[in-house]
Amino acid sequence: MSIISPTFIRPNINNKSDVIELFEEIKQIYNYYDVSSKVVEIIEGKNVGCLGLIRSYNDFSSLASVMPKLRENKRFQELNLKIFEKQFGETTTNGQIWLTVFGSRNWKSNPVSMVRQYSVSRNQLPDMLSILSEIQNIMDKKKVNVLGLIPPLGEGLSALHIPYQFESLDHWGEVLDYIKNSEEMNSLIGQKNKFGSLETGHLMIPLDGL
């Protein structure tokens, strides 16, 4: 089960390009250590306007093996300090890791993500994942990839993040029009609300082009 680790910054006025440049340099360091990463922007929903650097690891062992290397990398520490000192903006998310408990990421062919965050009691998580499996069966026909992520550390430990990954913004719009008119999908969404409370949602795109 892969591990996702995000950092999001809300840029100060006139500092958007600085944050992008910062994330791009950090991304190159992660690339050196064979860690997949991408730079994104939230364009709708909670934290709209925030920029993010999202990393992906194969498992906890992969994450653990990279951590000491990053601590010893002087340039990485210099760049990371800029985040902690909030030189270019407020940090909205950092230091969290999310465990993939459903699905697998597909950043290459489905780079656009709509993320819905639920609060779910852990004893009801199996029920939510069972519904996600049914949703994925429907979304397969629409070429949408669905994930389920939970945080084993950090804050908000009852959270379940559900990213829906799309091929493009046009694809996102087409699928949402389908969902709003689909009785089957709306029934499954209603079932999710029995086992968890929907709290936030946002739409984000990669900054390396669609």
Residue 210's pLDDT band (cuts 50, 70, 90): very low
Upper half-sphere CA count for residue 60 (Cβ side, 13 Å): 5
Q: So what's the pLDDT on residue 88?
A: 95
Residue 158's pLDDT band (cuts 50, 70, 90): very high
Q: How far apart are CA 38 and CA 56, in angstroms?
A: 9
Domains of the chain as residue ranges with CATH: 3-93 (3.30.70.100), 101-206 (3.30.70.100)
Q: So what's the pLDDT on residue 209?
A: 52
- Rounded-to-10 torsion of CA 54, 166, 174, 149: -70
pTM of the model: 0.93
pLDDT tens for 176-189 read: 999 999 999 999 98
Upper half-sphere CA count for residue 7 (Cβ side, 13 Å): 24
Q: How far apart are CA 197 and CA 191, in angstroms?
A: 11
pLDDT at 94 over 90: no
pLDDT at 97 over 80: yes
Q: How far apart are CA 80 and CA 63, in angstroms?
A: 17
| Mean pLDDT of the chain, nearest integer | 94
Q: How far apart are CA 50 and CA 42, in angstroms?
A: 5
Residue range 84-89: average pLDDT?
93
Residue range 87-106: average pLDDT?
92
Residue range 184-200: average pLDDT?
90
Residue range 126-139: average pLDDT?
95
Residue 120's pLDDT band (cuts 50, 70, 90): very high
